[in-house]
Structures are given as C-alpha cells and as structure tokens.
Chain A
Amino acid sequence: MIRIEHLVKSFGPLEVLKDISTEVDSGEVVAIIGPSGSGKSTLLRCINLLEVPTAGHIFVGGIDITSPKCDILKVRQNVGMVFQHFNLFPHKTVMGNLTYAPMKVRGLSKADASKIAMDLLNKVGLAEKADQYPSRLSGGQKQRVAIARALAMEPDVMLFDEPTSALDPEMVKEVLDVMKALVRTGITMAIVTHEMGFAREVANRVLFLDGGYLVEDAPPDVFFSAPKSDRAQQFLEKVL
C-alpha cells in the first residue's frame, strides 16, 4: 500500500530523514517510534505530502506521489491524518467538521455526507455531540471527532501523529480503544506513538527511528524483547 524508497528530507542544511526505505502492506499496522526530534512526524508528513520529500520516492496505492505529475489533492483524499493537537475546525460544529471535506472535496450531497458522518460518530461514541462546537468537547472527545473526520473521506490509509500525547491520562484509553476498533476494520495504519503497550498490542511492525535513520524495522515481539541496535536498547530502557 505504501512503499518508501531512499527517502531523504532536508530543511535547509538540516537533513532530517536519511535514506529511508520501507514498505507497508495493505491492512498492515505500523508503529513508528523513536526519540523526540528523530524525524517521526516528518516521515509521516511526507506520506501525504504535508512535507515535500527532498529525494527518493513514495508510492501510495501504486502511485508515485513524489512525481511532479501526481495530483496531490487526490493522494491526500485517500490518506487520512490525525494530529497531536486535533486541529478541528473551531467555527464548525462536530457535524460540520465531518461533512465539510466530503461535500466540498468529494462532492457528496449534504444528506449522504451527514449519513456517513452520523455513522462514524456512532462508531466513536459521540453521536449526541453532533451539534456541539469543538470547544465544548474534552480532549479525548476532540481526538475521536478528529479520527471520525479523517475517516469521513473513506481513505485507504490512516496516519496518526502522536494522537494521545496531548491528552490527559484518563482520556488516553478512549482514543486508543477507537484506534483498536479501527485496526479490526483492516485499514492500513501508520502510527507515531509513545504508547509502547499499545504499539506492542496492535502493530504488525515497529519502525524505530533515530537521528533521521530507520534503525530497526521488526515485528513488535522481536523489537521489544530483543532490539538489535544499542540505540533501540537505550531508548526502550528509558521508556519502558
């Protein structure tokens, strides 16, 4: 579903991603972990072109999104993203947040978009909040709405950038539960997270980044019990 070949990303003189190659199969769940500043967000953001790669290729669903001929907007419609700080539209209701892009971008009628939205709100347990503005919601509720908003575009791939890092501890579980339910639907997911227990439980593979290098790419059992690199060992000692 996603193939990354020799990806390099620089911000000016600063090389943030260094020759990264990996693949994510359809339906696979990949956890991306690593120390702060190691390039996790940048890697994720390259996959929907919020950052433009400096070199290398990224294929999503067989399409080379780094090719100049590629329609970026089309790619993004197919790749949902969930942010650490939710980024809900504050001037729209929950329903408005979920129906905006499907109507504007996919051209769905209001009725169709609302139906999809209501369905998703039911799934994330927030149907009764449909007419509320985001400012009335708790952090956990906001993030569940944000997940529903991304899903409303019916993407094939979902990207999560530390979806629980901005949440109070008691709200982490409700968001992780929604994500676990999502894993069971078989959608392809790439998740940057510091929740090691969660990564171990849901991920098919763990990518460990350090200093812009993809240092390890292994199944969670292998990675968590017997990390090959010193860097990963040190990292796990600190966080586990």
Chain B
Amino acid sequence: MNLDFDQIIPSLPFILNGILVTLRFTLLSALFGFTLGTLLSLLKISNIKPLKWFAEFYTSIFRGTPLILQLALVYFATPQLIGYKISPIEAGVFTFSLNSAAYSSETIRAGIMAVDKGQREASMSLGVPYRPMMLDIILPQAFKNILPALVNETIALLKDSALVSTIGVLDLMRRAQVVAGQTFLYFEPLLVVGVIYYVMVMGLTQAANVLERRMRRSD
C-alpha cells in the first residue's frame, strides 16, 4: 500500500473551503427545518382535524421515501414543473429543510407534550393568549427538554449533507471527488474529508454537552 498525500497538498485549500459550504448548508437546513418542524408540531397537537391530518401526511411522505429521491425530484423536477432553474444549493437546502421538518416535528411534538400541563393552565389562567403562551412559556421549556435530540438531528443532517454532492453542490464530499478525479488518487482525499466530517461531528457533540451542562446548572 503506498499512500501519496504529497500530491493532494496543493488541493488542500480547495477541500478545506468545502467545510464552510457543508457547515452553512447544514445550519441553514437545520434552522429552516426546525422552524417548519415547530409549526408542524403545533398542527399535530391542534384540535383542528384537517390541519392535523395534513401534518401527519406530510411527515409520512418525507419519512416514507428516500432522501436522495426527494433531492433529485426537487432539483430536476422544479425547472420542468415551474420553469425555475433551481440551483443545486437551493434545491439542497429546500429539500433538507422540508425533510428535517418532518423528522424534527415529531421530536418537538414530544417535547411540547412533555412540558407539564400545569404550565399551560397557569398561562391560560393569567389570560395569556395562545401565541405568547407557546412562544414564551411552552416552547422554551420544550426545546430545553429536546436539545440533545435536536443536536442529534443536526448531526444527521451534517452527515447526510454529503448527498448534495450528487446534484453538484461543491461541498466537502464533492470536493474530495473532484480532487480524486484530478489526481487519480481516491483514498487520500476521501480520508481527508472523512477526518473533517468526524471532527465536525465531535465538535458539535461537544458543544451540545457544554450547552446542556450550562442549562442544567440554571435549574
């Protein structure tokens, strides 16, 4: 076995720039995904049947089909359907947000249900309307309960984000493939990005631990 890292050193800056692409992609998708997931979770616990069904149906669609298929559909079908030439990164963020919303809505719903019902009753007894009650009282406590699960969801997003390389987004994964194509070396660039993914996931896990510990101290 002869490894030749020297040959890919000139390509290293190109690969490292992919970190930003991947991170930005992941964080944007998580942000949109959790926001939409929160709205879906509120539909799921609402008393209005059609809204509830819509949210359940939405979730089942995104959980019941492969992510890579959803991605391909959005990327290739959007221009055909509405004539808008969607960029790979837009298609990626869009699909991942919708997908992540489906998964996180279940988590957030569970988090809301786990907030003591006395909190709702206390808010209602003070005359607090639904929206501020949710935003100021219930959701902050719900998110605190499910923070570890949301971090796991973000980590899953980060790893799955490599799928957008299939539609041409120049993320970490894609950059490794590009370098492989230029140098005819496969193991070295893939190993490099593998290490980078691993470090990012560990970093995220660590940050979540710190955050959790700090929040626990505040109770």
Give the B-binding residues of A (Cβ under 8 A): 48, 50, 73-77, 79-81, 83, 85-91, 100-101, 104-105, 133, 135, 146, 149-150, 153
Contact = CB atoms under 8 A, between A and B. Distances in A.
Given A90-B141, A91-B144, A135-B219, A77 B127 contact: yes
A28 B125 CA distance: 21
B125 A150 contact: yes
Nearest to A102: B126
A89 B119 contact: yes
7 contacts: A50-B121, A50-B124, A77-B126, A77-B127, A87-B116, A101-B128, A105-B127
B122 interface: yes
B118 A85 contact: yes
A81 B125 contact: yes
A153 B126 CA distance: 7
A90 B127 contact: no
Contacts of B121: 50, 81, 83, 87
Contacts of A153: 126-127
Interface stretch (B132-140, B151-159, B167-175, B186-194): B132-140
A87 B129 contact: no
Contacts, number: 66
Contacts of A101: 123, 126-128
Given A105-B127, A150-B126, 19 more contacts: A73-B127, A73-B128, A74-B127, A77-B127, A83-B121, A87-B116, A87-B119, A87-B121, A89-B122, A90-B219, A91-B140, A100-B126, A101-B123, A101-B128, A104-B132, A104-B136, A105-B128, A150-B125, A153-B127
B2 interface: no
A104 B128 contact: yes
B218 interface: yes
Nearest to A79: B125
A83 B137 contact: no
B125 A91 contact: no
B137 A89 contact: yes
Contacts of A135: 219
A85 B116 CA distance: 10
Interface in B158-217: none
Kindly state the interface size class of chain B when it binds its partner.
20 to 34
Which of B118, B121, B126, B140 has most A Cβ within 10 Å? B126
Contacts of B125: 48, 50, 76, 79-81, 83, 150
Contacts of A80: 125-126
A212 to B, nearest CB: 21
A75 to B, nearest CB: 8
A83 B122 contact: yes
Contacts of A50: 121, 124-125
A68 B140 CA distance: 32
A230 B128 CA distance: 43
A76 B124 contact: yes
B219 A83 contact: no
A79 B132 CA distance: 19
A74 B127 CA distance: 7
B126 A105 contact: yes
B2 to A, nearest CB: 58
A146 B123 CA distance: 12
A81 B123 CA distance: 10
A159 to B, nearest CB: 8
A63 to B, nearest CB: 14
A76 B140 contact: no
B47 to A, nearest CB: 12
A153 B128 CA distance: 11
Contacts of A146: 122
Given A83-B118, A87-B116, A87-B121, A133 B218 contact: yes
Contacts of A75: 127
Contact of B136 (A77, A100, A149, A150): A100
Contacts of A85: 116, 118
A146 B141 CA distance: 19
